[in-house]
Amino acid sequence: MESLYEVDYAQWAETVAQKLEEKRFSELGELDLANLVEEIKDLSKRERDRLLSSMRSILQHLLKWDYQTEKRSRSWQIIIERERKNIELYLEDSPSLKRHLCQESVDKMYCTARLDAIQETQLEMPKECPYSIGDVLIKLIEGNFQW
Per-residue pLDDT of the chain (147 residues; tens, 9 = 90+): 568 888 888 998 898 888 888 887 775 566 677 888 888 888 889 999 999 999 999 999 999 999 999 999 999 999 999 999 999 999 999 999 999 999 999 999 999 999 999 999 999 999 999 999 999 998 443 344 443
Neighbours of 70 (CB within 10 A): 4
pTM above 0.75, yes or no: yes
The rounded distance, in Å, linking the Cα atoms of 7 and 24 is 22
R_g of the chain, CA atoms, integer Å: 21
Which residue, among 120, 122, 142, 126, has the nearest Cα to 57 in the 3D structure? Answer: 120
Domain residue spans in the chain? Answer: 1-31, 45-144
